[in-house]
Structure 1
């Protein structure tokens, strides 16, 4: 029997498959292929990190618990592995390792906040935003001398940047950011708000080096 090779776009191929298979069979084939891809990715993850990852499944742009609602013809599936836990544990270990060793007080003062609540870097809870801070009053001086937080943030971004966003900056562990104003007239208005001015000064005075981590 002669075989003819024809070209075609992915849309043409999908249309041909749609004509050849029933909707139920197409859903079975597509779902099986998606699960196989997930299994391969999880196996590679387990080989690298020693455990099966927590996997978030998205079907057609919506969070899902499985693939039962997958459209076999136009559906899209995405598997997202939460690497925040590995990133946070690694960052904490690096902060401790890179800390000055004179007394050990600075190394012991690194804290993690998960959505502004204290958290264990080795077992962090789910959160939209994580932030590492150092509570020692001389943390800014250490950063100017040794650049501990900034260096670790750069390394963490290189290592985990495909799954989490890692940032460096300065934040107050006691006060939320208080926005100032720009322009001569706006600054003049601030002179009539002594409480706000005092809050802004205190927020700036209590800022310490910070590493932020959010899911990519």
Structure 2
């Protein structure tokens, strides 16, 4: 289920930045749901003031479209995490073909990855497969595991009718809907002691 304009089968386009109009190959895998162009365009318009030099984590990366869009728009680096080895290989191939620097791909379950040594992030893309309902679990791991900069931004994509339970110190900044998808940008504040 995608909101907005759908891509040709097996290809999606980068919307802006140095890689604008570059095409990404997309593997045909069950449950793979690339973020729609219209949603990515809106999100990165919201994020424009904070993208330059940002350290990013694309959790449950899938196609990697969000993270590659971030690299295209000036992010210092993106850690991609994808549990499906085939999707991760296509993502690696796209990064090489586009001659991008700053992107690293880990083949791992998101929850297991977050149990490792934390790397401080300015921006996290939290868009797990909808059927797995992992938003709250992964959000708590991000918050409690030392992964988030003091005022990190967190993008959350979920079904339109579902607002995930997130840490209390994640404040909703902006949100929108596209088809059956809710997309929202949160800003972290330091938790009250």
* TM-score category of the 2 structures, normalised to the smaller one: under 0.3
**TM-score (norm: length of structure 1):** 0.25
Which structure dedicates a bigger proportion of its chain to helix?
Answer: 1
Which structure dedicates a bigger proportion of its chain to strand?
Answer: 2
Larger Rg: 1
